[in-house]
Amino acid sequence: MERTFIILKPDAVQRGLVGEIIQRFERRGLKIVGMRFMQVDEALARRHYAVHESRPFFAGLIQYITSAPVVTMVVEGTNAIAVVRNTVGATKPAEAAPGTIRADFGLEIGRNLVHASDGPETAATEIALWFGEDLVNWPRAADPWIFE
Ligand code: IDP
Ligand code: MG
């Protein structure tokens, strides 16, 4: 069982796609163990995207992620990290597979709607950064019908 971290970015919130996007993760069978609606400040944005600090798009990325509220989530499930990345789609919406969130709702890389951890180490780091210990362990009634 894995956990991964997701952000519904400001464009998802401003466009009224929060319910639609969360529904895709829920329907997939992923269990929500953390969720928050928040305004991201610059310091947190810079820590989260520290790996991209030297990139030309960094300033725009910080501006984007702090420009309106976001929804942050931690979800749990079998192979959750890869499953969520696949559900989200490729970074460039134009190259994302049809049926993925970024393909179905996006056009441009700088407005690609969702962040998702890209591996076990980033998932652990990002969950600690954004949620700390503030997660809920709960037995879901449907678990035996989703996890064999
Ligand atoms: P990811 O979100 O698919 O993991 P990363 O390469 O980690 O993609 O980039 C982080 C985020 O930075 C992207 O989701 C996108 O919002 C933004 N980004 C990446 N490359 C560019 C770019 O060339 N122009 C504008 N924004 C970019
Ligand atoms: Mg990334």
Q: Whose CA is nearest to atom 27 of ligand 1?
A: 110
Domain span at 130: 2-38+72-146
What's the pLDDT at 11? Answer: 99
Examine residue 23 and state whether it is found in any structural domain, yes or no.
yes
Task: With 0.85 as the threshold, say if the pTM is over it.
Answer: yes
21 φ, ψ (degrees, to nearest 5) = -75, -45
Q: Is 48 a catalytic residue?
A: no
What's the pLDDT at 12? Answer: 99
Q: Which residue has the tokens 């979800």?
A: 75
Examine residue 93 and state whether it is found in any structural domain, yes or no.
yes
What's the pLDDT at 55? Answer: 98
Local confidence pLDDT in tens for the 148 residues of the chain:
999 999 999 999 999 999 999 999 999 999 999 999 999 999 999 999 999 999 999 999 999 999 999 999 999 999 999 999 999 999 999 999 999 999 999 999 999 999 999 999 999 999 999 999 999 999 999 999 999 9
29: left (phi over 0), alpha (psi -120 to 50) or beta: left
How many folded domains does the chain comprise? 1
Catalytic residue of the set 3, 9, 102, 115:
115
Q: For residue 115, how far is its CA from the centre of ligand 2 (angstroms)?
A: 7
Query: Does 109 contact ligand 1 (Cβ within 6 A)?
Result: yes
Examine residue 22 and state whether it is found in any structural domain, yes or no.
yes
Rounded CA-CA distance 68/122 in Å is: 24
Examine residue 62 and state whether it is found in any structural domain, yes or no.
no
Examine residue 46 and state whether it is found in any structural domain, yes or no.
no
Examine residue 80 and state whether it is found in any structural domain, yes or no.
yes
Q: For residue 110, how far is its CA from the centre of ligand 1 (angstroms)?
A: 7
- CB neighbours of 23 closer than 8 A, spacing ≥ 6? none
Examine residue 107 and state whether it is found in any structural domain, yes or no.
yes
Examine residue 67 and state whether it is found in any structural domain, yes or no.
no
Give yes or no for a contact between 92 and 106, defined as CB atoms under 8 angstroms apart: no
- Say which CATH number the domain at 10 has: 3.30.70.141
Q: For residue 15, how far is its CA from the centre of ligand 2 (angstroms)?
A: 22
Structure-block tokens of residue 76 = 């749990």
What's the pLDDT at 146? Answer: 98
> Which ligand is the nearest neighbour of the Cα of 113?
1
